[in-house]
Amino acid sequence: MKGPEQGEIVSKKIMDLLPHRYPFLMVDRVLEVEPFKYLKAIKSVTINEPFFQGHFPSYPVMPGVLILEALAQAGGILVMKSIPEEMEGKLFLFTGIEKVRFKKSVFPGDQLMLEVFYEKHKLNLWKMSGKATVNGQLVAQGILSAAVADKGE
């Protein structure tokens, strides 16, 4: 059995980087990361996702806000890999979205390719652009902002 490729980050390591857990961990694998530049990750969407029970039982479609959450979590990993020493005892908190567009629906069985690109940061505020694709087709895009905060705040 073949393991992850060199440079990939898989579930256990992702859980070391993010505070999220089931059912809210939205990044399954990080394929590429270049600090202060970009991150590429995967979210595999299955019919077992708890949100499909109500969204919608006869037409299961992934909520757009959860696609954005997956991009935000990927962005959090990018920040963690960009400034690891400064992230000790800190959280990366989603603070805003701009210019969000949803282009296609995401269904069970789809694999979301998440890409986030560093735009800028000042002090503890970060801005990134992100896009999610399925089979090379754009499903969502937008600009994400977040803040690095103490876990105790």
What span, in angstroms and rounded, lies between the C-alpha atoms of 52 and 73?
20
Owner of token pair 């005892």: 89
Active site residues: 55
Beta carbons within 8 Å of 145's beta carbon, 6+ residues apart: 94, 95, 96, 97, 98, 125, 126, 127, 128
- For every residue of 92-120, DSSP letters joined together read EEEEEEEEEEE-S---TT-EEEEEEEEEE
- Residue 78's closest CA among 148, 4, 1, 3? 148
> What are the start-end ranges of the E strands in 6-151?
29-34, 38-44, 90-102, 111-122, 125-134, 137-150
Owner of token pair 């029970």: 53
Q: What is the maximum span of the chain, computed from C-alpha positions, in angstroms?
A: 47
